[in-house]
Structure 1
């Protein structure tokens, strides 16, 4: 098992009598039914249904004070605080930046389980997006090495975790898609347990529900295989003269790209290669995905 401090993450604490109801009315996941053992992957959206910021919601056990910790991209933390304070109105809610005191640790690989979590000074939870991602730990700042030792993990760095994420085909905001310009379906949140389609209203819910029921998501972040290192994020992907998408993150031999799947299907049918920065890409459907893939029948999973 490996453990890597994820220094690009920040932590927000949402607490108070109305914290659960407050969050549940704002974000894409069902916070009303979660518990300390069932974290959620969620996003705050614009009224037009585009992602402002995505995060992992972790409930603090009542015996430890209660409330919710949001594991959020550090670069977007101030903006999230502003939004949450704007929405809280008269709700009995306190919103605090806890990034100076708490840190996020990613744990993955052989031997990953939460059986030793009770020995850790912090919260260790399964990553709610995909079991293969492993665990997330919210721990006191500066204790990463100690936590890794307690859990019997080898201390790694964020680049190792990124390679693990890319290999699984899981998108990362700010690299594989642009915040403020992508719908949850385009970033595979609907596939990665990030949207509850049965819960009540939240900001942007009507647009997301319409995309779900009409099947109108034409673009998706998907894995691509490359020979060598992929081109940098933001590199246009083309099929002949036709733009089909944009490159995202990558490691040796593989990457992610936000692609128009209808155009990818046309290119594959015509035998036209996908090219980004002069490098040929071979797109593939993630093992965990249930959305239709070019060449599959409409009801394929």
Structure 2
């Protein structure tokens, strides 16, 4: 039996960027190389403060020869998408690019499970993209094990049944996500505080160190080339009463990290690498915490 599931992601929004300057406009702002986005390749990146701290992360898709689509956080009442839209409009200046919020026109869907990519006829290459029923299907640009992201016009969910996908729910999707160590924007990243390389953006294809300048580039590059990464966002297993996000993780009387999110008995935490070496016994509240390092994570050589 095929193991292909899908979950609607109502917490996502879609912004269209069109016009002749759409690529050059975004290229000067986004951490990844927008010039590589095509009908066959989607991407992942972030918009940072001028000081290099996290503001927004998002996916970028090629819609047609004149338009790119940005799939981003919507926020509880649409505020995160509205803030990104406002920020992009502020930086647009005289660029020949038009912005429009088309969230109401699309369903954003996560397709996951061990057969998800084959059901969608996609190669297991992060970012691999093709059209689907006047929409877009793409292998998650961060990690192929995450499955695919699909943008479908409203009222086209019959396409999910057509590929044999079984309906799931957003919480099941997020449990899978945190078990793989993948952040979900401001749920785990602190706005105006988080640094990309502490949150896996290099390994997850969210930063291009060879492209030209973009806003916040200096801190990102300095963090990499000076080896300044001493903390990492990593998956945790929780044994006991689930602590709240924001609860410190302790190694004896020393703080070893802080929980960023909890989904079921798993979560993500920002971990101080030097505090979890060896057989560290970690706890948060009344729960025992076990930290794991996914295969895709590249820790500094002097870290555990």
Which segments of 5 or more consecutive residues in structure 2 lack a partner in the other structure? 123-129
Query: 1:162-241 maps to which residues of 2 (within 5 A)?
Result: 162-228=174-240, 230-241=242-253
Paired position in structure 2 for 1:73:
73
Question: 1:35·1:59 contact (CA, 8 Å) conserved in 2?
Answer: yes
- Aligned residue for 1:243, secondary structure, equals strand
Paired residues, what number? 288
Paired position in structure 1 for 2:111:
107
Question: 2:110·2:149 contact (CA, 8 Å) conserved in 1?
Answer: yes
Paired position in structure 2 for 1:275:
283
1:56 aligns with 2:59: yes
2:98 to 94, 97, 116: 94
- Aligned residue for 2:141, secondary structure, equals coil
Question: 1:127·1:136 contact (CA, 8 Å) conserved in 2?
Answer: yes
Query: 1:77-156 maps to which residues of 2 (within 5 A)?
Result: 77-113=81-117, 114-115=120-121, 118=131, 120-143=133-156, 145-156=157-168
Cα RMSD (Å): 1.8
Question: C-alpha displacement at 1:248, in angstroms?
Answer: 2.1
Residue-by-residue CA offset, 1:216-243 (whole Å, 9 max, x unaligned): 0111100112225632211111222222
**Aligned counterparts of 2:143 and 2:253: Cα–Cα separation in 1:** 36
1:6 to 1, 5, 9: 9
Paired position in structure 1 for 2:170:
158
**Aligned counterparts of 2:25 and 2:287: Cα–Cα separation in 1:** 47
- Aligned residue for 2:88, secondary structure, equals helix
Question: 2:240·2:288 contact (CA, 8 Å) conserved in 1?
Answer: no
**Aligned counterparts of 1:119 and 1:57: Cα–Cα separation in 2:** 16
- Aligned residue for 1:234, secondary structure, equals coil
TM-score (norm 2): 0.89
User: Compared with structure 1, are the counterparts of its residues 118 and 199 closer, same or farther at alpha carbon in structure 2 (3 Å cutoff)?
Assistant: closer
- Aligned residue for 1:107, secondary structure, equals strand
Residue-by-residue CA offset, 1:34-74 (whole Å, 9 max, x unaligned): 21211111000001111100001111132xxx311111000
**Aligned counterparts of 2:216 and 2:263: Cα–Cα separation in 1:** 34
TM-score (norm 1): 0.90
Which segments of 5 or more consecutive residues in structure 1 lack a partner in the other structure? 297-301
Question: C-alpha displacement at 1:244, in angstroms?
Answer: 2.3
Paired position in structure 1 for 2:125:
none
Question: C-alpha displacement at 1:174, in angstroms?
Answer: 2.3
**Aligned counterparts of 1:72 and 1:119: Cα–Cα separation in 2:** 20
